[in-house]
Amino acid sequence: MRIEEHFIHDKIAIPAAGPRTSRPRLLKLLTDTLVSTNATVVNGRAGTGKTALVTDFARHSGRAVAWYKVDAADNDLRLFVSTW
């Protein structure tokens, strides 16, 4: 696998499930948003469990999921949206 392919895979692959604490209230909140929207952005400080929560939701939602890991280098919105 070339470096570019590895980089892209890391940004779009749903992380492997690991040990976690269930967060039923937040999972319900995410499920409830499916009624009114097709996309949700989860934002928060490092270490708060965003990835674990959304990975759990993605694996159990029963819907197609698009995953994109946003990094500090993606902080220019013009560059971020122009590639899509």
pLDDT value for 27? 92
Q: For 23-51, how does the pLDDT look when each residue is reduced to its tens digit (9 = 90+)?
A: 899 999 999 988 898 888 888 888 898 88
Tell the burial category of 82 from Cβ atoms under 10 Å away from its Cβ (0-12, 13-18, 19+). exposed
Which of 8-12, 34-38, 70-74 is most confident?
A: 34-38
Band (16; pLDDT cuts 50, 70, 90): confident
Band (6; pLDDT cuts 50, 70, 90): low
Q: For 59-70, how does the pLDDT look when each residue is reduced to its tens digit (9 = 90+)?
A: 888 888 888 887
Q: How many Å apart are CA 46 and CA 68, to the nearest integer? A: 16
Tell me, what amino acid is at 58?
Answer: A
Looking at the 3D structure of the chain, how many domains does it have?
1
pLDDT value for 25? 93
Q: How many Å apart are CA 48 and CA 80, to the nearest integer? A: 24
Task: Tell me the residue range of the domain where 42 lies.
Answer: 3-82
